[in-house]
Structure 1
Amino acid sequence: MSAFCCKQSSILLARLAVNSRIAVTSNLGFQKFRFLVIPINFLSHERRLTSLADRSVEEKHSFAVTYLVDSCGLSQQNAVLASKKVHFETSDRADAVLSLLKKYGCESSHISRIIRKYPKVLVADPEENLRPKLEFFRSVGLSGRDLPEFLMSTTNLLAYGLENKIIPVYECFRNIVGYDAKPSALLKSCNWWVPGPVAQRQIVLNLQHMEELGAPRDMIMSSLNFYTTVYFQRSAVFAEKAKKLIDMGLEPTKINFVQGLAAITKMSVSTWQHKTEIYKRWGWSDEDIRMAFRKDPLCIRHSEEKIMTVMDFLVNKIGIGSSDVARNPIIVSFSLEKRTFPRSSVVRFLQMKGFVNKKLRMSSFLKLSEKLFLDKYVTKYQEQVPHLSDLYQGNLDIKELGVGFEDMNWKTYV
């Protein structure tokens, strides 16, 4: 009787699963999903469809990667990254975009960099979207090699609307700084919104104040591009902060003066005090802090975690004197993971092997561009030290080579 009841119950459950939406749990080959019981054979069909869809996505992704490598000159790694930001199944539009860029003077090296920085340009309408912008850039004076160079450095500008963004901001800043300003400098300001009349007046007053302090016009224009919001402050506040920087020893004729303005513009007194206290934990005096700020004002903007992590590596792992770091604060700004540690590992190993002077200053190789560092410290010794590239890329730990940072005190060689 019990077995018969169980069998009947099972049949009933199966019927309910097919004909109703009642939540049921059983052991008859059904899986419960929220409030709907779905037969396993139906789920298998769904999984097959999902698998086919995933395969289709992979094929599209593979097509984009291949195109980015073969037609745009991107490396495999950069192509994979770019393919996550742009999707296309055929090359028709992308081919038209590349053809248009070439007509406006872009060569392979320009195109590669433009696509790497802004891959979505490949799916933009070449005639309705891109050509009008390129024509406008040319009309304001960007011609010849200037246009490709400008596009490489300001690729994100291609994402903005011409009528509602680029032209209004360009005209606004041209009226503010004067008609003799370089077109490229004005267009770079298009990363920002169109200031209202009051904001425009403040910008004019602040720019005039910088000129009165002796700042070169080229530097002012450059700072307007990179630190635009600094000039959006009320003129009285701007003048007060400028005086504070001068009292600290910063010179208005140098770009770090504007960096100093940027550093303290959005920083409260309490935040400033907190950041200085962090450095004081490492033995910095008030004079060390002022000296570091004069050399690299942005050092005060780092998070507590970054400051503590970098200082721990430099002081405790390598053995650099804390006050020596204050004399070269730029090394605090570098990425520990991507720059300081891998470069230090390579140079440390080369020193132990006698290829590099042991009195080499740390700041000398940390400040080098990526290309110069590779040429001078990796490629140059690749034959003598085949695994040097693996060490630099993080595929090999320096301790595996039998040396460590503690083997040499770099204290006096910052």
Structure 2
Amino acid sequence: MLKFGSNFNGAQGFNFIHGFRRLVFYSTSISTESNPAFVNYLVESLGFPTQHALSTSDKLSRVRQHRGVKKVGDFNFVENADSVIKFLTKIGFEHSHIRNVVVSAPEILLCNVNKTLIPKTQTIHKMGISGPDFIEVVKVNPSILLLALNSKVVPAIQALKEIMGCDLHVIAILKKSRGKRFYCISRNLVPNVALLRNYGIPIESIQKYVLKLSTALVQKTELLKDVVIRVEEKLGIPRDSPQFLFGIHLLSSLTEKNIQLKREIFKNFGWTESDVVTLFRKCPTCFGLSVASIKKKLDFLMNELNYEPSFLAMQSNLLTCSLEKRIVPRHKVLLVLKEKGLIKIEYSFITAVKLSESQFLKRFVLPFTEVHEVYREHSGTSLEVLTLGSSKPDSDATSC
């Protein structure tokens, strides 16, 4: 773990202050919208294009005004920003990392290194997030250094460690948890997980769901409780179903009106209420597809391949797979193989769809030069890739 002294002298980092006198200013006055000294600073120390530096300066000025921060002299302001950058450099951030952090959260340059950044960094390190992992988290989620340490940052990390039991998973989640979502973790995640556990959801299932960081698990607990009840009563998905959590995600991310609209689309294609309910229970994720995607897939699967609604309701993977990248190319290949008599066995299209890309290529494409062009035309995969024999390891066969 890095050791920090009580004072930060910035021995390493960007030597900006020394050359401050030679900066070319855009104006002799201090603008509340774009600080000329700060604009020069971003250009010279971080390599910002001038226009980008201007927009970042404006953003920071608005943050300062919103916080009621009094104006300070140009030199004092830039000096503080420079101390922040030197600190980040000292603890391992590269030039490009710092630039990305400043673009995402320029208000970090307002932080006091000794009073804010050092204590926060030390505390986060002690909680098991240090070295390259700490840098990766801050790169994509600089809010971890901006939010209140004791009321937001520490409770959020503690909640994740308590639930996940694995620092690697905690780090993976922190990389995705920006701004408000990070704050909601500290406030809502533990009671929400407790609620799901009370409903009999296994902790292993919850952990996998937390890794995906659905907004459902960081919403207010009373809202989640209402969603859980509706999943069971309106969607008809029992608590012990593997699809129960996906149902929660669906109802948390879509309005009742949107879901009803999609139900009607299925019915317009001849689906009965029973078919729709079956699909809800089998794969609620299907209703997360866009309206255009649902219509396009149903049109092809029902009108081109002549599948019945009751069959599609049970074989939901046909609806979740990509039509353009998987369904159509594989259908065209099998069609040509059968027409030319190149395969004697009657292969199920469902089986072919479930194969991984490399498995499908090895079994149905690579051995038959007659379908190379067909597959290339419909999938966009080059003939060079096909003739290489696909040396990559198989991915999950059911992944679409």
> Which TM-score band (shorter chain)?
0.5 to 0.7
Structure 1 122/330 Cα, relative in aligned 2: closer, same or farther at 3 Å? farther
Tell me which of 234, 250, 271 is aligned to 1:263: 250
Is the counterpart of residue 207 in structure 1 residue 193 in structure 2?
Answer: yes
Deviation at 1:342, TM superposition (A): 0.9
SS at match of 2:231: helix
Tell me which of 159, 171, 174 is aligned to 1:176: 159
Alignment check: 8 A CA contact 1:214 1:252 kept: yes
Distance 1:360 1:354 in 2: 13
Distance 1:378 1:142 in 2: 48
- TM-score w.r.t. length of structure 2: 0.54
Tell me which of 316, 322, 337 is aligned to 1:329: 316
Distance 1:212 1:305 in 2: 38
Aligned position for 1:189: 173
Q: Which amino acid is 2:189 matched to?
A: I
Give the paired residue count: 264
Deviation at 1:327, TM superposition (A): 1.6
Alignment check: 8 A CA contact 2:169 2:211 kept: yes
Tell me which of 128, 145, 159 is aligned to 1:164: 145
CA offsets per residue over residues 215-244 of structure 1, 9 Å max, x none? 222221221121431012232221222122
Deviation at 1:182, TM superposition (A): 1.3
Which structure is richer in relative contact order (CA contacts within 8 A, separation 6 or more)? 2
Q: Which amino acid is 2:340 matched to?
A: K
CA offsets per residue over residues 256-287 of structure 1, 9 Å max, x none? 22211111113222222111000001111111
Q: Which amino acid is 1:164 matched to?
A: L
Structure 1 173/357 Cα, relative in aligned 2: closer, same or farther at 3 Å? farther
Distance 1:142 1:367 in 2: 41
Alignment check: 8 A CA contact 2:333 2:371 kept: no
Aligned position for 2:361: 374
Aligned position for 1:217: 203
SS at match of 2:207: helix
Tell me which of 219, 226, 229 is aligned to 1:233: 219
Structure 1 358/122 Cα, relative in aligned 2: closer, same or farther at 3 Å? farther
Distance 1:142 1:354 in 2: 61
Distance 1:346 1:139 in 2: 54
Which range moved further: 170-179 or 291-300? 170-179
Aligned position for 1:403: none
Deviation at 1:164, TM superposition (A): 2.3
Alignment check: 8 A CA contact 2:173 2:213 kept: no
Structure 1 177/305 Cα, relative in aligned 2: closer, same or farther at 3 Å? same
Alignment check: 8 A CA contact 1:210 1:252 kept: no
Aligned position for 1:400: none
CA offsets per residue over residues 319-358 of structure 1, 9 Å max, x none? 2223211222222222222221112111222233344466
Alignment check: 8 A CA contact 1:259 1:297 kept: yes
Aligned position for 1:84: none
Give identity over the alignment, percent: 20
CA offsets per residue over residues 29-77 of structure 1, 9 Å max, x none? xxxxxxxxxxxxxxxxxxxxxxxxxxxxxxxxxxxxxxxxxxxxxxxxx
1:375-394 to 2 correspondences below 5 Å: 375-379=362-366, 381-382=367-368, 387=373, 389-391=375-377, 393-394=379-380
Structure 1 299/163 Cα, relative in aligned 2: closer, same or farther at 3 Å? closer
CA offsets per residue over residues 87-136 of structure 1, 9 Å max, x none? xxxxxxxxxxxxxxxxxxxxxxxxxxxxxxxxxx99558xx99xxx9xx9
Structure 1 385/370 Cα, relative in aligned 2: closer, same or farther at 3 Å? closer
Distance 2:339 2:95 in 1: 49
Structure 1 234/388 Cα, relative in aligned 2: closer, same or farther at 3 Å? same
Aligned position for 2:237: 250
1:285-324 to 2 correspondences below 5 Å: 285-324=272-311
- TM-score w.r.t. length of structure 1: 0.53
Distance 1:139 1:353 in 2: 64
Deviation at 1:251, TM superposition (A): 4.0
Q: Which amino acid is 1:189 matched to?
A: I
Distance 1:338 1:288 in 2: 26
Alignment check: 8 A CA contact 2:192 2:224 kept: yes
Aligned position for 1:55: none
Alignment check: 8 A CA contact 2:153 2:186 kept: no
1:9-408 to 2 correspondences below 5 Å: 124=97, 140=128, 159-161=140-142, 164=145, 171-179=154-162, 181-190=165-174, 191-192=176-177, 193=179, 195=181, 200-247=186-233, 248-356=235-343, 359-379=346-366, 381-382=367-368, 387=373, 389-391=375-377, 393-394=379-380
Distance 1:372 1:138 in 2: 46
Unaligned 5+ runs, structure 1: 1-120, 397-414
Superposition CA RMSD, Å: 4.2
